[in-house]
Every structure is written in structure tokens, then in C-alpha cells.
Structure 1
């Protein structure tokens, strides 16, 4: 068990079963994850702030809300716009907050946050995030309790960029057991219609090379084994990384991190299990309505493929 400080606040290290993870005080972010010294995610340096939401927890909504506007309890709310190029409110409110330590052992850390009512989100949530290493990998659970009086709209997702290995993303083999994907507008990536993956460029139900395919879409109608959906990326040689998530997440956003001309272009594959669809505060697709006193939990696990 080790702690140290960095640009993202106190850093909490946990280890076990060959895994090593570092979680940050600011944002309760997963900054590093390794297995036997092999990086499983795209990290960022201890002396720099979070980059491109790497390892963030996105809550109380994942993805984006169009124009930052939605209606709840017969009131129209306006959130701050933090994605001005698309005029959207992106990835919630907690990724920049300073979380407090609840507990820290050699193989587990729990951080908490009192998310107070704010402009555009006048609801009061008590949140906890627990990271633990087990034989199965690094497991994460996020719990939110509505400690206010009004019913609160809610959703959550993680935002890791998975890394299959040292080869390029184009050569990685993706297994994505989804029957449908959400078509989006070209300019703002806002939801249009659901479409079958069959005969589309996004059909990875049978594992295949990502190649030059550019993906920044949400997928649903996921095949599951005992309630769990699993997404895998592998190097051509076979090793890689998997992400498994429970039935609380009925959607998953996949993003090939396309940044042409940048050193960060297609470095890793963002895999974001989501409890609701993009812009769910407006569509209500999968949106959780947390009544006063109610709680919600979601969980996922990242594991090495050897």
C-alpha cells in the first residue's frame, strides 16, 4: 500500500495477483493499470492533469447532453457547456472533483464524494468508487445514493483507453458482442437511430482486426454470459486485455481515439460501459431515476489476456 502526490492530487496505489493500479484523488480516476509490468490502459504522467478523460469516472451522466439542456421534475435545466465545439455537456460533473479517502488497503481503495446541488443539476448525491484487485483483474464499482429530496436523473460510465500491447491499434483484434449501434450526427455525435451492426463497418461480433475503422459510437443489444458482457482486444500474437461488465450497463461506447496529426492519435481503444444511452437525460433510454433515499450500483472489471 503506497500513496504519493501528483498533479491529480493524492495517488493511491493498490497491488495483487500480478496487477498494479494507481487511482487519483481528483476525479477518482484510474491513472495506471499494469499486469506483470505490462500496461493495460493508456495512462498519463503523475505530474500532469488527466488527459482526454483517460480513466475518468463519468457521472451523473455518461457521454453528452445536447445543448446541456434537459427536463426533470417538470423543470428545464441548463448545464454548463464543457464541449463547446459540439455545444454539449460532456461526461458529467465528478471528473474534476476532489474525492475523499474512505479506506485504503494493499489491494483495495475506496473514495467518496458528496456531490452537492449545482447549476443545472440541483440534486444531491453521495457517491463512492471502489477499486480492488483480485485474481479476475481490477474490479470497479460505483455507488450513488440520492441524499436529497427530489428525484434525480442519473447515469455513469468509466472512461479507460484499453491497450492490447505494443502493436498499433489498427492491428488489434476486437471482439464486441453487440447486435446494434447508435447512428449519430457527423457534426455533434448526437443520437439519431439504432441500426443493426450486421453488414455495417461496426460488426465485430466475430473477432476481427480493427484496421482503419474509425469508431465513436454507442453499442447495445449485448450478448451476455451469466449476465456479463465481455469486450476483448488482442494483439496479432494473442495477448491483450478484456473488459467485463454487469447488467447495470446496457450500453457501451467504443472510441478509436482518432486525433489525426497528434501524437495521441489512436493510442488506445476507449471502452465505456454505460448505464444509459448518450443524451439519456433527454431520451430517457436507460436513464436511472433515483428517488430520495434510493441507491444505484454499477460495476466492471478489466483483466489481462495472456
Structure 2
């Protein structure tokens, strides 16, 4: 048996600065340009913790908090419900937000994630998990030989600070075309040395549908992802730099990949992107399922 999830052996490192290993991130996953957005005639300023931009909720986003956990069993699996309350003004965001994430493990080798939130004032919300996977086993080299498929006919080109340009560009004829399986490393150089891009998931947002499949040809292990979200951020661990992990492992560049199901980056500043504002009368609810095969 191998552990295919990058992470730490103890709780302490998760509460300090780290590259979001296995973290649930929010209030807004991914980047918001300039660390600001305007809503209802008011401009809100956020922490700029990623160059000029705000990333994954700010300096002390949801990933830096220890959530309240409740484990339970139901027909079909075992579950843990995690809850966290973010007060009004937390990291610059308006309204008091109450979030729950329910993770479930079924007998079919499926891990489900149900993200729910209620906020008492209009606010952008975008929750995801930043799990890093290595299907060969965590700490066992890079993921560049893993074969990836994405159910995405378009992706979001970005500027030099990783903010979307606003275009939904076809993947055809580009290094971002994963509609047929290919090794992650095949077009890596042409993609700027690594992937850290949001792909537009084919099909209707709000419905659970296939999003991605990754397979390690050496072990035969595979991971399939389905989601209700409009996008998935495919990240290839470009900035991992030898961070100490589990059991003495060191996680270097490309030691893991992430499939962060989510709304589009910078959607609070892009009216043409899917609506990301929730509030009274509009609760947040999204679901993602990770299915493992051998």
C-alpha cells in the first residue's frame, strides 16, 4: 500500500505557511486581481499575498484554520463534516460566512467532497481543496510521466501574474489540449515549464460530470474526477521546492499534481465569468467526486 497524497505527518505544519498541501481554501480560491473587487458600489480590499494579487483567501485564509470536525457513518460510506465560521470583514471580505465541507469515503474507492456555505451579505465565494496527488506514491519522484486527460475544450489564458485575460481559448492545437491522454511532461516546456491554468469543464455547470482522469502507467493506479463546478485548475507543482513532507520525504518541483475544481479565477472582477456572488437567499453548494482505480 502506498500513500498517494502529499502532506505532513502532524497538524502543526498545516497551520503555518505552506503550499496549501491538502488544504480547503477560501473564501475565494485562486487569484483576485489587484487584491480588490467592487460589489454593490463598494470596493473591497484584500491582502495581496501573491505578487500584486490575492490568492486563496488571503494571508490567513480558510487553510490556516483548524475546522470543527464531526465524523459519522451512513449507508454507503463513512463521512466527516468540517465546519468553520468566517466573521464579517475576515481578510477583507463582507458578511459572516458559515462554511461546511463534508468528505465521504465509499466502498467503491470514491472520495466525495460537498462544499456548502451561507453568508449574511453578498460576497464572492469559491471553495475547493488543494490536494496534491502522486499516484506512484508521495515522495516517489515527479508526476511528469503520469498520463492526464481533461474534459475541457477551452482554457483561460493568463497574464504574467496568472490573472485570466478574459478569453476562453480553444485548447485545440495548443499545449493545453488534454482531450486525449498524454504524459503531463510532454508539452510542459511549451506551456511555460508547468501548468497552473483553469480549464473550462465541458458540460453544464451545476451538474455532476467528468472533469479529469490521471493514470500512473507504472503502478496502474488512476484517479478520475467529476464535479459540478464550471472549471478545474490543473497545477503541476511548479513551485514545490523541497518542502519536508511525510516520513522524511522532500517534495521537489513537480512532485504532485492538483485538480482544483472551482469557479474561474478573478470572477469577482469579470462579469462575463460565471456568477460567484452568494448571500441571503442564495447559498453556496458544489460537489466533487474523486474515484480511484487500479
What TM-score, normalized by structure 2, do the two folds share?
Answer: 0.82
Which secondary structure does the structure 2 equivalent of 1:98 belong to?
Answer: coil
- 2:208/2:287 contact within 8 Å kept: no
1:91 to 37, 47, 56: 56
**Pairwise CA distance, 1:52:** 0.5
- 2:26/2:62 contact within 8 Å kept: yes
Give the aligned partner of residue 190 of structure 1.
163
- 2:19/2:240 contact within 8 Å kept: no
2:112 to 133, 139, 144: 139
Query: Hey, what's the Cα distance between the residues in 2 that align with 1:48 and 1:293?
Result: 37
- 1:62/1:90 contact within 8 Å kept: yes
1:160 to 131, 144, 154: 131
Please state if 1:70 is matched with 2:41. no
Give the aligned partner of residue 236 of structure 1.
217
Superposed, 1:118-137 pairs within 5 Å as 118=89, 120-136=92-108, 137=110
Q: Which has the higher helix share?
A: 2
With 118-127 and 196-205 compared, the bigger mean Cα shift is at 118-127
Query: Hey, what's the Cα distance between the residues in 2 that align with 1:46 and 1:171?
Result: 30
Give the aligned partner of residue 7 of structure 2.
43
1:287 to 259, 263, 275: 275
Size of the aligned set, in residue pairs, is 262
Please state if 1:180 is matched with 2:154. yes
Give the aligned partner of residue 7 of structure 1.
none
CA offsets, 1:221-271, max 9 Å, x none? 4258x8412311111246233242332x01000111113864521001111
Query: Hey, what's the Cα distance between the residues in 1 that align with 2:143 and 2:100?
Result: 33
- 2:155/2:169 contact within 8 Å kept: yes
Which secondary structure does the structure 1 equivalent of 2:117 belong to?
Answer: strand
Moved over 3 A (4+): 102-106, 259-263
Query: Hey, what's the Cα distance between the residues in 2 that align with 1:300 and 1:227?
Result: 8
Q: Which has the higher strand share?
A: 1
Query: Hey, what's the Cα distance between the residues in 2 that align with 1:163 and 1:48?
Result: 23
Query: Hey, what's the Cα distance between the residues in 1 that align with 2:53 and 2:40?
Result: 21
Q: Return 5+ residue gaps in structure 1 as ranges.
A: 1-36
Q: Return 5+ residue gaps in structure 2 as ranges.
A: 189-193, 243-250
Give the aligned partner of residue 259 of structure 1.
239
Please state if 1:222 is matched with 2:186. no
**Pairwise CA distance, 1:104:** 4.4
What TM-score, normalized by structure 1, do the two folds share?
Answer: 0.79
Query: Hey, what's the Cα distance between the residues in 2 that align with 1:240 and 1:75?
Result: 49
**Pairwise CA distance, 1:287:** 2.9
- 2:136/2:218 contact within 8 Å kept: no
